[in-house]
Structure 1
């Protein structure tokens, strides 16, 4: 059996953008008009107060997340610390809170589409009259539910791009508006109570940071990156909110925002005042992106909450079954989508302000969760169970989490009474659900209950992990069973010569909507061939007489996970196949974006498989660091298979070329190789000399990415035209961004 492991897909930027991307949606593009109309000049303060409450909870979430990086985030922490009764409350509040937030985002989306299309008013649908914005919201919501149902993959990088675009738009808006701001334009101060009322319904703007903890198990180095992402997202977004609200309030005359029409959007109108039509278009585009990405992120996050609740039997685990074709938790997504759409319809039929009603309900439910989350941290600190070892600790505990709990619960008082009553009914439903369903089925007890039974929870004696001697480790990512034998044979030959170990891995790509933890429990549904592929690899490597490890890695990425797996398993060399993504940056091992952002973590060999036969090896070289690896690899294969080796160098002057090649061969232990110097076209020389070869081993190109993308790659062209297999070698080394782009 291979070992299963969950990939660490998310770097610090990706983790940060999960929080920022969700928060920056409605908070700044939909709610400012209502906030200013309610609180006047104190609308700025309402966002700052909301940010301060969120920051207190962010500190607690960071400590709990580094101690318990599990799918489910806030729900899991509450359920683990306080037990399944409060877990049921937190789970239902989180799930329905996300559904209300998604409905709110889609109403905002509908407003922006309506503004762009120039449509407004109501239309008759059968016996009822429905607002046009609601119809657009329903259509948009159906679309995003469908996207998550089908399972769009690798959306993390797209989310990064969206966040950067939104920040750029708001930065320009703030800078231009800052020079035109006049404090005399600030509207009337409406007082503390209206300010706190505004804080209550705008608090939905601060939901995103807790979603980071829901994917804590997927964050690289969570001890450092999770607190930075959680706390950093709250601080960054609060600063953006405060600056934008100030600019909006101080750059237009008093009463301008309060006097806007029902179908007008405050940030768009102010942007048009400051920047003209270009500003209005930019803000419309930003609002469309923000509301859409926030809704999509919330629908996606809900499936993670459902999985955690099903895992603990707070709800039926059948809800989390994955689709046989799309590998997504389709039932959970469908129910969440149905709830979201029903909330949009219900609010429209009841009447009133859909924006503040839906945002208020989402805020109420999440304030309940945040209060319980802070209480959970206090419980974990007091009980101090043996397995509680956070990498980050909240300063001034228990004062800090106590303030977080008190302020979260206290803000509920200022939310609209009807909204509060409906939210309280949901909490009551969660208690009834626990008593009637979850109590007899729940698999957890809660740290608090265990402590009350036996308060002496102390750490046992620690055991130091043995530090194994470092051996030479070769990572072989396997994807296609047809190429498994060749890749394992190549890696085994090198491992035998180096006295090393083959580490065979198979990366199972899991849709973003499905948690990696759930994927690990249902690996057969996601990839039925994984186990047999690795078993065959183990048998093949054992036949070659080398030690072998096998690992199944579950990841939300595919090709990009290879390099992270190499770091995780401390690989000295990667031997991988030439798949469709392997040469996204022509002539290098990594893809184009990977080449820009980071260096390969270790030496890498990319095998273009036309059959593995090292009997006659051709090594084209012009010198350079990557040719060093091609020479070293060739020497190992020659020693293993007694290969006939030919070295090829293309030069303008034959005599100089021969002198270079003789010295190069002698310095690399290839003195017995046949030396061949050609003049003329490099590509033609490689193709011609490869006619007698069974394997070409060549170093990766040294040209920069931009140059290769514009002019193509001689190396790739030659590899495509030769008839034998090709092994491209890329040496691990640090390259500056300039070198990556321009060579």
Structure 2
């Protein structure tokens, strides 16, 4: 019950992922940093943005892989904790939390600064008021927050896209502007050579940090295995192009000396554009876009950063109170703490050097995250099952580590000392507060045999729990396996080993696999076995070469079959009343885990044993196991709407394309029908398919008769 109480709602879709990521990147990166960054490299500053966007790709792929395997709140913290242990998790979590808070605080100051262009208002007062507004929005729920975020992003992309199109037209086709790349604005192009370009790329690297904020809300994303990597990739492409082309327009239209000291280069550049709009409407639009950008960064920043203390509280690295979820499904205490810290930084800090400070520590975190992918893959933890795998492994991760090290060396000693200070604070916090409360280690101990005594046995179970929550992947043949499952009611007394021999013999005959090998597979104990131990239920699994499709055999025993069990070091016996024997192809280890996780989810239903043992027919048992929004049972009773199907071949029945008549029960026998099967009165059809189509059939055939 407590686990469910601390679980966040899955409300965010693909566009929400895109908007959280994109909205978090468009603030200081576009509206403030281009002028400051040009001090280091001159007109080539637009290339520095492109370089920075390319250099973040390894980290993006690594984050996407881990986030699809472990969609949990906490982002970098959770990844580092589960890969290298709670000490590194504390360092990554505390550091990234502070870096996100800094970025969020200054974005909110930007709202006040741009508001001051129109009204004589105290900048920090407006920033604090905006903080309270976004706090209230975050307390309501992630979906409400993302809805506002979507509006901000749509408005931003439209305005900035128009700015770029109008700017490029003026640069390339207006006689008032010299040919680009040859006029005075681009001479000299690299004012500090290649070193200046790399320094600037590191400086503007902070502009892309919003890309990673998605990972901290991964637990709230629907279909994370598709939406996380696709949303991040779309966000990087769109943002990278807007940065590259937008800053190119600024460089083309603003004198280099003026650009270097301009804190609002977009507003300056737009004064030469949007001349097709009346008066100063173009400037007002750009200022409005800037305020929307800062607001979106502040909004996304508060949303994502608050998930760090929430996740760390859930793992006891922070006080447990931070893991509490309110009635709206949001981490109330974590949001309140984050709000308080943002206000504190708004009141006490200045903008000087913050980009380098945030970038340096984030580069350090990216280096560790790239290494974490290598750790997870090398650990061979079976339930580490990413829906997206980073391409070019491990070269991509090694490149990411090298990139981080190189860029950090260009950031300067002040930024490096700041990162070192955060690391030391995190180490002290872990040593004097968290270490006695935490009893786990990371996946790295599953990799190195010499460290095997520190392996955390519960890590497999936790990953299996996450796998269960993620559910089946599209294409996993679980429903088909249940439909075709053999069901045996065992009325006689039989020893457990004899039952395994009997079931293995059936599989051996069906699949032409050696019986002894199958028995060995079913009786072997793997690292995930504790997660499969459920009172009076036994789930046995095997994978074997030569098996070409999943197969299941279900055995029901009213009186129970005695079996030796072991869990958490405790040995005992249990009278098993329901057995699941699952056989999978040898190469489908991850799919087998997902199917096992689905079985665990089913067996954890309330009154599972009573319900399944009282089902009188094979169809009822299979329907119970299939039971979700993807199936419906239709009885062909004379005098009802569904009687229109009686006497027709199944292939003649007009059903939605994405449904399948999986089973027919006729005269107490259940079988899978064919296209030419003629339907008869009193047949009972089990139909599976996509939820909208199942709802349609329910409304057509069930509600009509009620």
- TM-score bin (small chain): 0.5 to 0.7
Q: Which residue of 2 aligns with 1:67?
A: 69
Alpha-carbon distance in 1 for matches of 2:111, 2:130: 8
Alpha-carbon distance in 2 for matches of 1:408, 1:307: 28
**Equivalent of residue 48 in structure 2, options 46, 49, 73:** 46
Q: Deviations over 1:12-51 (max 9, x none)?
A: 2222222112112332122222122332112112212221
User: Per-residue deviation at 1:177?
Assistant: 0.6
Tell me: CA distance 1:278–1:550, structure 2 relative to 1, closer, same or farther (3 Å): farther
Structure 2 residue 705 is matched with structure 1 residue 636:
yes
Tell me: CA distance 1:631–1:340, structure 2 relative to 1, closer, same or farther (3 Å): closer
Contact 1:78/1:376 (<8 A) preserved = yes
Q: Which residue of 2 aligns with 1:616?
A: none
**Equivalent of residue 160 in structure 1, options 143, 150, 174:** 150
Structure 2 residue 356 is matched with structure 1 residue 296:
no
Alpha-carbon distance in 2 for matches of 1:103, 1:240: 24
Report the more deviating stretch, 203-212 or 294-303.
203-212
Alpha-carbon distance in 2 for matches of 1:385, 1:195: 41
Alpha-carbon distance in 2 for matches of 1:384, 1:600: 36
User: Per-residue deviation at 1:329?
Assistant: 2.8
User: Per-residue deviation at 1:64?
Assistant: 1.2
Q: Which residue of 1 aligns with 2:630?
A: 570
- What stretches of structure 2 of length at least 5 have no aligned partner? 172-179, 462-475, 486-605, 635-689
Q: Deviations over 1:126-147 (max 9, x none)?
A: xxxxxx4344333433443344
Q: Which residue of 2 aligns with 1:319?
A: 322
Taking the TM superposition and a 5 Å limit, the aligned residue runs for 1:426-445 are 426-445=422-441
Alpha-carbon distance in 1 for matches of 2:434, 2:699: 61
User: Per-residue deviation at 1:286?
Assistant: 0.6
Q: Which residue of 1 aligns with 2:662?
A: none
Aligned length: 485
Q: Deviations over 1:639-670 (max 9, x none)?
A: xxxxxxxxxxxxxxxxxxxxxxxxxxxxxxxx
Tell me: CA distance 1:230–1:573, structure 2 relative to 1, closer, same or farther (3 Å): farther
Alpha-carbon distance in 2 for matches of 1:429, 1:164: 40
Contact 1:79/1:446 (<8 A) preserved = yes
RMSD in angstroms over aligned alpha carbons? 3.8
> 3-state SS of the aligned residue for 2:390?
coil
User: Per-residue deviation at 1:294?
Assistant: 0.9
Alpha-carbon distance in 1 for matches of 2:81, 2:700: 57
Q: Which residue of 2 aligns with 1:169?
A: 159
Tell me: CA distance 1:309–1:373, structure 2 relative to 1, closer, same or farther (3 Å): same
Taking the TM superposition and a 5 Å limit, the aligned residue runs for 1:412-423 are 412-423=408-419
Tell me: CA distance 1:411–1:630, structure 2 relative to 1, closer, same or farther (3 Å): closer
Report the more deviating stretch, 68-77 or 149-158.
149-158
Alpha-carbon distance in 2 for matches of 1:427, 1:90: 8
Contact 2:379/2:446 (<8 A) preserved = no
Contact 2:271/2:282 (<8 A) preserved = yes
User: Per-residue deviation at 1:61?
Assistant: 1.0
Q: Which residue of 1 aligns with 2:191?
A: 190
User: Per-residue deviation at 1:410?
Assistant: 2.6
Tell me: CA distance 1:635–1:232, structure 2 relative to 1, closer, same or farther (3 Å): closer
Q: Name the TM-score, length of structure 1 as normaliser.
A: 0.59
Contact 1:46/1:198 (<8 A) preserved = yes
User: Per-residue deviation at 1:567?
Assistant: 12
Tell me: CA distance 1:632–1:135, structure 2 relative to 1, closer, same or farther (3 Å): closer
Contact 1:25/1:291 (<8 A) preserved = yes
Q: Deviations over 1:373-415 (max 9, x none)?
A: 0111111222222222223222222211111122123322222
User: Per-residue deviation at 1:287?
Assistant: 0.7
**Equivalent of residue 468 in structure 1, options 454, 479, 482:** 482
Structure 2 residue 402 is matched with structure 1 residue 424:
no
Q: Which residue of 1 aligns with 2:240?
A: 238
Q: Deviations over 1:496-524 (max 9, x none)?
A: xxxxxxxxxxxxxxxxxxxxxxxxxxxxx
Q: Deviations over 1:169-192 (max 9, x none)?
A: 111111111122222123643223
Q: Name the TM-score, length of structure 2 as normaliser.
A: 0.62
Q: Which residue of 1 aligns with 2:534?
A: none
Alpha-carbon distance in 2 for matches of 1:147, 1:341: 16
Structure 2 residue 127 is matched with structure 1 residue 137:
yes
Q: Which residue of 2 aligns with 1:602?
A: 693
Tell me: CA distance 1:308–1:470, structure 2 relative to 1, closer, same or farther (3 Å): farther
User: Per-residue deviation at 1:259?
Assistant: 5.2
Contact 1:187/1:255 (<8 A) preserved = no
Contact 1:21/1:290 (<8 A) preserved = yes
> 3-state SS of the aligned residue for 1:40?
helix
Contact 1:312/1:444 (<8 A) preserved = no
User: Per-residue deviation at 1:603?
Assistant: 5.5
Taking the TM superposition and a 5 Å limit, the aligned residue runs for 1:25-36 are 25-36=27-38
Alpha-carbon distance in 2 for matches of 1:11, 1:634: 31
Alpha-carbon distance in 2 for matches of 1:386, 1:134: 51
Q: Deviations over 1:47-81 (max 9, x none)?
A: 12221221110011111122222222221111111
User: Per-residue deviation at 1:160?
Assistant: 1.9
- What stretches of structure 1 of length at least 5 have no aligned partner? 120-131, 349-353, 472-533, 552-565, 575-598, 606-627, 638-743
Alpha-carbon distance in 1 for matches of 2:289, 2:74: 30
Taking the TM superposition and a 5 Å limit, the aligned residue runs for 1:400-415 are 400-415=396-411
Tell me: CA distance 1:139–1:464, structure 2 relative to 1, closer, same or farther (3 Å): closer
Q: Deviations over 1:90-142 (max 9, x none)?
A: 010121111111112112222211223266xxxxxxxxxxxx43443334334
Q: Deviations over 1:233-280 (max 9, x none)?
A: 2222112111111111012344332354xxx51111111222242221
> 3-state SS of the aligned residue for 2:56?
helix
Contact 1:272/1:279 (<8 A) preserved = yes
User: Per-residue deviation at 1:328?
Assistant: 3.9
> 3-state SS of the aligned residue for 1:256?
helix
Alpha-carbon distance in 1 for matches of 2:69, 2:249: 40
Structure 2 residue 84 is matched with structure 1 residue 82:
yes
